[in-house]
């Protein structure tokens, strides 16, 4: 992994302290021109700060910018990843005041039944994982962030990882079951967004394969038990107080209550 210079170490500390305090920082505190590999090194340092003190564990990864539309928002030609630590895993109830400027997305969650490898092809990745209906709540350590921060700032801020909610995981899910899978988001019983899994790099398992290969380039791996939030079916919506349900046809549904 890339070694940080003192200035970059200070950036990681600023982001970590903002996370600890639940406060946002001005965008100017992290350079807008931050190069992606350096931004990942800062992200990794923030994750190390979270996990080295024994209070949190690395629980998985989230994948962002898996559609052409979201990539264009941040001028990227590829997806991004961010780390999910213990505090990112929600039981399906969120206090809105505990978040900064959260959004809501619907996406599938892959759960690794064993370690994943860059040598794994798509059928192998499906055999090694279970698939669950999910909800992601992106949030940022930056003020007024969406879509007003740069690619480097997004990466450094763990791809704006907030919370994920995971429904019942299913085993032996086939490639065909996940292909063009319909997803629907309702808010207090009213549909507010819908699209299919084709928005996620044409197929969600493509996003999983991208992540495994990208992590390998950073000397990282998906370990047994980790959760992978694979990318949104829809453009993000602002999170509000109320009751949300994300439904995925035969894969089931998952709910989120925001107080």
pLDDT for res 1: 57
Tens-place pLDDT, residues 112-147: 999 999 999 999 999 999 999 999 999 999 988 888
Backbone angles phi, psi at 110, to 5 degrees: -90, 135
Looking at residues 56-73, what average pLDDT do you find?
Answer: 91
State yes or no: pLDDT of 7 exceeds 80: yes
Tens-place pLDDT, residues 153-210: 999 999 999 999 999 999 999 999 999 999 999 999 999 999 999 999 999 999 999 9
Please check whether residue 155 is in contact with residue 44, taking contact to mean a CB–CB distance below 8 angstroms: no
Burial state string for 22-46 with b = 16 or more CB within 10 A and e = fewer than 16: eebbebeebbeebeeebbbbbbbbb
This prediction's pTM: 0.94
Listed residue (207, 209, 218) closest to 42, CA to CA: 218
State yes or no: pLDDT of 2 exceeds 70: no
Listed residue (86, 109, 93, 57) closest to 227, CA to CA: 109
Listed residue (174, 187, 176) closest to 234, CA to CA: 187
DSSP H stretches of helix in 133-203: 151-156, 175-178
The pLDDT mean for the chain works out to 94
Please check whether residue 212 is in contact with residue 117, taking contact to mean a CB–CB distance below 8 angstroms: yes
pLDDT for res 77: 87
Over its C-alpha atoms, the chain yields an Rg (Å, rounded) of 17
- CA gap 33, 1 in Å, rounded: 20
Strand 227-229 vs strand 190-196: parallel, antiparallel, or unpaired?
unpaired
pLDDT for res 4: 78
The first and second tokens of residue 166, run together, are: 């995971």
Q: How many CA atoms lie within 13 A of 60 on its CB side?
A: 26
Which residue is associated with the tokens 């453009």? 235
Please check whether residue 231 is in contact with residue 204, taking contact to mean a CB–CB distance below 8 angstroms: yes
Max Cα distance, the chain (Å): 51
| First and final C-alpha spacing in the chain | 40
Listed residue (25, 114, 37, 44) closest to 83, CA to CA: 44
């Amino acid at each position: 992994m890339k070694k940080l210079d003192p200035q970059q170490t200070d950036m990681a500390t600023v982001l970590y302290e903002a996370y600890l305090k639940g406060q946002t920082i001005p965008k100017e505190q992290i350079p807008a021109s931050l190069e992606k590999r350096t931004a990942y090194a800062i992200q990794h340092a923030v994750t190390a700060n979270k996990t080295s003190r024994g209070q949190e564990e690395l629980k998985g990864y989230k994948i962002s910018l898996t559609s052409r539309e979201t990539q264009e928002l941040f001028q990227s030609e590829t997806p991004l990843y961010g780390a999910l630590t213990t505090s990112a895993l929600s039981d399906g109830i969120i206090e809105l005041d505990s978040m900064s400027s959260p959004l809501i997305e619907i996406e599938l969650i892959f759960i690794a039944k064993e370690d994943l490898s860059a040598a794994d092809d798509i059928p192998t990745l499906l055999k090694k994982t279970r698939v669950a209906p999910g909800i992601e709540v992106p949030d940022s350590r930056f003020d007024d962030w969406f879509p007003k921060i740069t690619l480097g700032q997004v990466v450094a801020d763990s791809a704006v990882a907030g919370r994920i909610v995971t429904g019942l995981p299913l085993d032996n899910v086939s490639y065909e079951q996940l292909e063009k899978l319909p997803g629907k988001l309702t808010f207090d019983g009213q549909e507010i967004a819908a699209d299919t899994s084709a928005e996620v790099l044409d197929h969600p398992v493509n996003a999983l394969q991208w992540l495994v290969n990208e992590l390998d380039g950073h000397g990282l791996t998906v370990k047994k038990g980790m959760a992978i939030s694979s990318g949104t079916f829809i453009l993000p919506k602002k999170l509000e107080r109320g009751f949300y349900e994300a439904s995925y046809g035969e894969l089931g549904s998952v709910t989120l209550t925001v107080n």
